[in-house]
Amino acid sequence: MHTHHNALGLASALRPVQPVTLIRPLAARRAARFFVEKFLGRSLYAVKANPSPDLLKELWDSGITHYDVASIAEVRLVAETLPDAVLCFMHPVKAEEAIAEAYLRYGVRTFSLDTMEELEKIVTATGGATDLNLLVRIRVSSDHSKLSLAAKFGAEPDEMKALLIAARQAADALGICFHVGSQAMTPAAYAEAMERVRAAIVAAAVTVDIVDVGGGFPSSYPGMEPPPLTLYFETIHRAFEDLPISYSAELWCEPGRALCAEYASLVVRVEKRRGDTLYINDGAYGALFDAAHVGWRFPVKLLREPESEVRDMAFSFYGPTCDDLDHMAGPFLLPADVKAGDYLEIGMLGAYGCAMRTRFNGFGSDLTVVAEDEPMASLYLGDAEERAVPSNVVTL
Ligand SMILES: *Cc1c(COP(=O)(O)O)cnc(C)c1O
């Protein structure tokens, strides 16, 4: 894979006709080490956020040994890429065939569930195995998060007692898991969820061996700058210490976004300008699904030398397909003299950007290069107060 110092260097050297993905392995390593060192428990990487084998290897090399997988294809991918990784099948609704293959062929021992039917399915598919870690998923509020995960999965608090008691009988280790929703903007989301966990444990009066606080750890985007991650960890550690569980119980988390958002950005070309709208060569069916469908704003930068001195103005983007839905409202702030033929870097696309690309309408490309500079924003540059901010990083 080619290496360039930064996006400007790449755009100047290659003048690429297709969008190019820029990856920053050091940013992924830094995020992984942060979780490994500062989260006082086990950090599982949620593979759906970005299943790139190159990224999986960086995370493994940085100490991430456990992987949250949600489909049999993710099980196979991680097992083939990282043969020694521990896989945890954390989708609460699985095909029986997928459970059987994961258990028998890939040695998966950890499964989540939120109904009695799923528990029976797991027991049947594993032939009544006695070596299972079973995590019962409880529904919690997504009120503090930018993307809800509250509607689809999770047992209601009043269903938890029967589920925990039944799962206790089938499990070697019993756990409770939840997901506060993606991009949780305050640690209070976890404190509130842990209160539900406490109530469920007290009501069921069972021994709980694992508490898994799920994903939701934020990253930094324009207009969505979260508090430092250490505050999230402190809140979770404190709540965990207060739970009525055994001294040897384990604390787990499942970060997706927080481990990979900074890993990738995209270099695109402006193909046309119409007023304050730029037609660019990637969009809603490419890496910009969230920008189009949930109004997410990503940091943008004009790649031009010498730098434009013109003041910024707000732009929206159209992607390359023939579809009106291929529209990213932004606002994206760029120098007012941006024009067709210019290149832009769109940052923070390592999570749920690159992973969701399609080839709809014949657009999109796999061209990937390594960049050596800092990502366009970072939550891992030291404590907020004493942060040394490189010139290309958005200050929080
Ligand atoms: C998507 C998902 C995650 C990762 O969520 P992030 O918000 O990216 O941290 C973790 N656990 C489960 C069960 C998920 O579905």
Work out which ligand 1 atom sits closest to the CA atom of 183.
7
pLDDT (0 to 100) of residue 11:
96
Q: Give 146 or 112, the one with higher predicted confidence.
A: 112
pLDDT (0 to 100) of residue 382:
62
For residue 217 and ligand 1, the question of a CB distance below 6 A is answered with yes
Q: What spacing in Å lies between the alpha carbon of 183 and ligand 1's midpoint? A: 10
Residue 363 has pLDDT above 70, yes or no: yes
Question: pLDDT tens for residues 182-197?
Answer: 999 999 999 999 999 9
Q: What spacing in Å lies between the alpha carbon of 90 and ligand 1's midpoint? A: 9
What is the average pLDDT across 144-154?
Answer: 86
Kindly compute the dihedral angle of the four CA atoms of residues 239, 176, 52, 325, in this order, to the nearest 10 degrees: -90
DSSP strand E in the chain: where?
3-4, 20-23, 42-46, 66-69, 86-89, 110-113, 133-137, 145-147, 173-177, 182-184, 210-212, 250-253, 264-274, 277-280, 300-303, 312-318, 327-335, 343-346, 368-371
Q: Which of the following is catalytic: 177, 260, 322, 354?
A: 322
Q: Please confirm, yes or no, whether 88 is among the known catalytic residues.
A: no
Question: pLDDT tens for residues 275-285?
Answer: 999 999 999 99
What is the average pLDDT across 207-221?
Answer: 97
Q: What spacing in Å lies between the alpha carbon of 315 and ligand 1's midpoint? A: 31
Domains of the chain: 3-23+261-387 (2.40.37.10), 26-259 (3.20.20.10)
For residue 44 and ligand 1, the question of a CB distance below 6 A is answered with no
Q: What spacing in Å lies between the alpha carbon of 114 and ligand 1's midpoint? A: 16
Report yes or no on whether pTM surpasses 0.85: yes
3-class SS of residue 344: strand
Work out which ligand 1 atom sits closest to the CA atom of 137.
13
pLDDT (0 to 100) of residue 310:
96
Question: pLDDT tens for residues 225-258?
Answer: 999 999 999 999 999 999 999 899 999 999 999 9
Whether the CB-CB separation of 232 and 272 falls below 8 Å is answered with no
